[in-house]
Structure 1
Amino acid sequence: MGHHRKALRTTAVGAVSATLVAGTALGLAPTAQAAPNPIRFVDITGDGGTVLKANVVTPAGADGTHRYPLLVMPTSWGLPQVEYLAQAQKLADSGYVVVTYNVRGFWQSGGEIEVAGPPDIADASKVIDWALAHTPSDAGHIGMAGVSYGAGISLLTAAHDKRVRAVASLSGWADLIGSIYSGRTQHVQAAALLDGASVVTGRQSAELRQVFDDFYASNLAKEPELVAWGKKRSAATYVDQINKNGAAVMLANAWGDTIFPPNQYADFYEKLTGPKRLEMRPGDHATAEMTGLFGLPNDVWKDTERWFDHYLRGEDNGIDREQPVQLKSRSAGGYEGYPDWKSAGATHRKIALAGTTTIRTNVNSGADGGVVFLSSILDQVAQLPPMASIPLLPRRWAAVWQSEKYATAQQVRGTATLHTTLTPTKESGTLVAYLYDVGPLGLGKLVTNAPYTFHGRTPGKPFGVDLELYSTAYDVPAGHRLALVVDTVDPLYIEHNPSGAQLTFSSPANDPSYVSVPLREQ
């Protein structure tokens, strides 16, 4: 397993290198065409004297006699300071001063990578200080926006700096541990991608290197430290402060985000009490925002600008009167508006997981969640999610339950949940649950999945398992079935099944097993 993880990290470094070279060109291309607004490349002194490389875009004709709303945009993980220039130009055209900066530890900025730790939040406040002193920006109208890493830093800054009045957090996280360690399972491909990107484009701190090493090694002795490290870097930890400060928060994510799955964003959204908006679309991590970084028309960036126009410029554009939850199905159709998250899947239909089934471990049954980025991008552009032939899945390594055929289309919206009783033969283990849309020929298209790991259990003693699968929006056609498949190996995750272990699933009469599927009201 150790050699496999090393190879995976090496592959990730190569893949990330190619991606980041393309991303750099992506950020530069739009600005080469036309730059009507003045751009300055500047050095900003961050927390502790660390130099942050930044650029400033101001509205054309700004002469210091008028103040403009300020937008501060921290870069994504591994991308250079030119990442947002196309959008910065558009926003400056609309009357904003825009400051984008490379976060500490990456590219030409100084310092080491802190993973949205306290120095990163202090840096964001220092950038605001600098902008107020050196640009025609308005101290009473400040917003932050970012993609991925920049999204997380923007949310965290809103919790710690009352000057931030509006945030657009795009493809970000609110719960870091709930993202890369959900179900107490290491999301190894996601971690390897982040690790590889930071090796290629930045300087890891000793703390970050140790976190990655302990993560890959499944060092349970360090698990409490990992959880504490992640909580300090999660906006969900500071939701009360965000609510107290009153910033207007827009969250946008993709259903297939393999770095920051959508569940943690939806949970966080429900806890916000101020002005808020949640948008979910097909795609993977940051792919929904990508065309906007080229300067092309893009729904996410359009709504981001509308959000700031209303909450920073006071424009009556109607965004505050729209349904605050906007979802787009992976299957087809336009946006669906809901008053809150739970209303999206207002009806729940249970599929019984009857009988007793035992599976062996350590072998990939053929059901899996695909490959980070590639699978969800194929789903986004061609509606081709990972597939499996359900009748051909080997029952020695995969447990399978199916619903009846549905007479009408089933519009899955929200978070499916699994409840079952598990009896292991070893004290530790991992299972991965998959929900498939199964057509007449038995071909299953992946609707959603999630991993679950346990430690310290008594062999032979049953215990209850409750698992949230990743939130999604997917339309199951009439005449199809839903199938729940459970196996123990998936390339997306690290497994914890000792050699020769077996898992038995049962459905006691007093505690029946089921998967509950949230459905849109027809």
Structure 2
Amino acid sequence: MSDARPEQLRLLTPDQDNLLQAVIRALFTGDYTGVPEFLVDDIEAVRAQSRLGVEKIDVGNGILLDASASWPLTDGPHPLIVMPAGLDKTGWRMYAGSIVRLLMRGYAVVAYSERGLAESGGALTVAGPEDVADGRAVIDWALNNSELRADPDKIGMTGISYGSGISQLVANADERVKAVVALSTWADLGEALYDNQTRHVRAAEQLATIGHTNSADLEIVLGEFRANNMKPVLAYAAERSPALMETIRPVPTFFTSFWHETIFPQNQLLAYFERFPGPKRLDLAVGDHGAVEIPGVLLGVYTRTTEAAYDWFDHYLLDVDNGIDRDGIVHTEGMYTFGQSTAPNLAAWSNPMRRYHFQSPGTESSDGLLAKEPPQSFTKLIQVGTQQVRAAEALVMDGFAERLLMPKRQKLATVDREAAGVWTTRFGFLKPQHIAGTPEVHATVKPSTEAVTLIAYLFDHNPFTGSMRIITHAATTVKNMQPNQATAIQLPLRAIEYQVPIGHKLAMIIDTKDHFYMYDEDDPAPGGTVILSNEHGQAYIDIPMTY
């Protein structure tokens, strides 16, 4: 295993970073060079009617958190929003746009960079007990600062990414927090990083790069993760997981995530959302981590989720009757129509399942068929160890391209049929097909070794161009006691809402390698195989799909 530190994870593109620096400079100095024209008037008004400052907040043990405190010059008390920073080296500064918008609505705002991040002291613990204590200390600091005139009965917390999980954890521990907005968030950190006995190695390694200093405990856990010793890793993750808290406070919480989320895959959040006991709202959108809300929190531009976030606080902190509690619980955005829909719960959102059985290739094609009727027998042998397709090229950034209708495309013809299983529907669809829900793959797997990792991808295939767009995917690792042992698998793919266009087909591909889930050192030995079959039951994919 190489000790080289991966390139630091960024949530911002270089252009967004440059714009952010200009907005921060304007907010705190009045220099508007490089600030988007639409934002100049707002910043001027905020500067004239508010107090803005950069602070160092002492949270004990010699640790100072880099922060900003801003509040209206009107008489208080002011409702207070506390904002832990997201997964980016800019720290709290990434909230420049939200600070403007919240000040315009009359809120006092304290935004801060967590320990080990940006210009804060201490070492990164990834939402550990220290971060929860820090969040509570920031609230104490705000309430004890007489200039803010913060209302102790009207406190909300919000964050994007890293800050969203910490907001949930602090709110669960501190009864002073009355509302939460968790943007691009997680619920079960362990499942987000290790699901179906498979490590999400790229996400874990990138999470470890966000700070300037990692805590000793975090470095130990990273070593266990790399060694595939997951028991201590999952124990570490458990106390950082809102879904696994012994008691869950029913704090009104607005959650967001994305269909192609690569940092905190969404299924673990959806499971938690279903049982969350308080007032709740969920928004699932096209793209990846932060793709909708980043323009809003950075620059203050209108986005669906950031506007809903401010309305959420207005309603649950200020008792404003704005309808946010009556316009639906589950809000979804379809790929790539961008059509929006609402539902009272996830069960009502999901479509009925349509089953497609895996059939072996016939004499006329090297591809198998996704068929409505089960075959008498089915087998497919795959040579393991080479990557044929992928869910995404890079963490986070592919999602921005998806929102611009420029998703990554792959060619079906380039897939080596000896190194991956390929099945397609026989004909292009005569009507658009609406997928909404969680597809699930069932098959029997017989690896030639004790273990094998399989990645199941569902693609939208355009027969005219030969290109494919990813719909959804998931990975699983089969671990047997001996080689050539047949094991039945049941693999939920990631929840998705997707419109398959007229004339397109579905393509199911099962591969044995993906750079998101495997270190280079994990490459299987040459010559290994895996056989897919219906030995222990029918082999098929259930797809929640209607016309």
Q: Same fold (TM over 0.5)?
A: yes
Q: Which has the higher helix share?
A: 1
- The one-letter code of the counterpart of 1:440 is P
- Equivalent residue for 1:260? 264
Change (3 A) 1:151 1:365: same
- What is the match of residue 375 of structure 2? none
2:116–2:123 contact (8 Å) kept in structure 1: yes
Identify the residue that residue 444 of structure 1 maps to in structure 2. 468
Amino acid at match of 2:205: A
**Counterpart position of 2:253:** 249
Q: Distance in 1 between matches of 2:416 and 2:426?
A: 21
> Quick one: structure 1 residues 295 and 20, their matched pair in 2 at CA, closer, same or farther if it must change by over 3 Å?
closer
| TM-score normalized by the length of structure 2 | 0.87
Q: Post-superposition shift, 1:317?
A: 0.3
Call closer, same or farther: CA 1:183–1:71 in 2, change over 3 Å.
same
Query: Match for 1:393: what amino acid?
Result: V
Give the Cα separation in 1 of the matches to 2:270 and 2:286.
15
Instruction: State the match for 1:168 in structure 2.
Output: 181
After superposition, the C-alpha distances for 1:462-510 in whole angstroms (9 at most, x for unaligned) are 11111121222210012222121001111222064531221111013x6
Distance of 1:411 and 1:468 partners within structure 2: 18
Where 1:196 maps in the other structure, the secondary structure is: coil
- Residue 237 of structure 1 corresponds to 244
Q: SS of the residue aligned with 2:470?
A: strand
Distance 2:83 2:277 in 1: 24
Cα displacement (A) at 1:19: 8.7
Q: Tell me, yes or no, if structure 1 residue 28 matches structure 2 residue 50.
A: no
Q: Which residue of 2 aligns with 1:70?
A: 80
* 1:319 equivalent in alignment to 2:359: no
- What secondary structure does 1:518 align onto? strand
Whole-Å separation in 2 of the counterparts to 1:286 and 1:241: 28
Does the CA contact (< 8 Å) of 2:6 and 2:206 recur in 1? no
What secondary structure, in the 3-state scheme, does the structure 2 residue paired with 1:490 have?
A: coil
* Distance in 2 between residues matched to 1:23 and 1:209, nearest whole Å: 34
Of 490, 495, 499 in structure 2, the residue corresponding to residue 471 of structure 1 is: 495
| Aligned twin of 1:409 | 432
d(CA) in 2 for partners of 1:155 and 1:419?
Answer: 35
The amino acid of 2:512's aligned partner reads T
Q: Give the CA RMSD over aligned residues.
A: 2.3
Structure 2 equivalent of residue 138 of structure 1: 151
Matched, 1:297 2:302: yes
The residue identity in structure 2 corresponding to 1:516 is: D
Give the structure 2 partner of residue 104 of structure 1: 115
Structure 1 residue 22: deviation in Å?
4.5
CA distance in 1, matches of 2:26, 2:117: 22
Select which of 129, 139, 143 maps to 1:128.
Answer: 139
Alignment partner of 1:226 is 2:233: yes
Helix, strand or coil: the match of 2:459? strand
Aligned to 2:284: 280
Structure 2's unaligned 5+ residue stretches are 31-39, 360-377
Contact residue 47 and residue 122 of structure 1 kept, 8 A: no
Residue range with higher mean Cα deviation, 77-86 or 406-415: 77-86
TM-score (normalised: structure 1):
0.91
What displacement does 1:23 show? Answer: 7.9
Identify the range of structure 1 (436-445 vs 339-348) with the bigger mean alpha-carbon deviation.
436-445
- The one-letter code matched in structure 2 to 1:164 is V
Q: Structure 1, residues 271-307: CA drift from partner, whole Å, max 9, x if none?
A: 1121000001112111211111112222211000010
Task: Spell out the pairing of 1:366-377 with structure 2 (5 A cutoff).
Answer: 366-377=389-400
- CA distance in 2 between counterparts of 1:126 and 1:38 reads 22
Shift in CA distance, 43/110, structure 1 to aligned 2, threshold 3 Å: same
Q: Percent identity?
A: 31
The residue that corresponds to 2:367 in the other structure is none
Q: 1:445 to 1:299 in 2, by over 3 A?
A: same
Partner of 1:156: 169
Q: What's the CA shift string for 1:88-129, capped at 9, x where partnerless?
A: 121122121111111111122221111000010011111111
SS at match of 1:353: strand
The 1:260/1:19 distance shift into structure 2, 3 A limit, reads: farther
Letter of the structure 2 residue corresponding to residue 267 of structure 1: A
Per the alignment, in what secondary structure is the counterpart of residue 81 of structure 1?
helix
Q: Is the 8 A contact 1:20 1:79 kept in 2?
A: no
Structure 1 residues 490 and 29 mapped into 2: Cα distance closer, same or farther (>3 Å)? farther
Question: Which region of structure 1 is more displaced relative to structure 2, 274-283 or 175-184?
Answer: 175-184
Instruction: Give deviations 1:357-390, integer Å, cap 9, x for gaps.
Output: 01011111245533223322222212x3333332
Change (3 A) 1:385 1:457: farther
- Once residues 303 and 433 of structure 1 are traced to their aligned partners in structure 2, the CA distance between those partners, rounded to angstroms, is 35
Q: One-letter code of the match for 1:203?
A: T
Contact 2:438–2:544 (8 Å) recurs in 1: yes
Deviates more, 1:47-56 or 1:156-165: 47-56
Aligned length: 503
* CA distance in structure 2 between the partners assigned to 1:213 and 1:96 by the alignment: 43
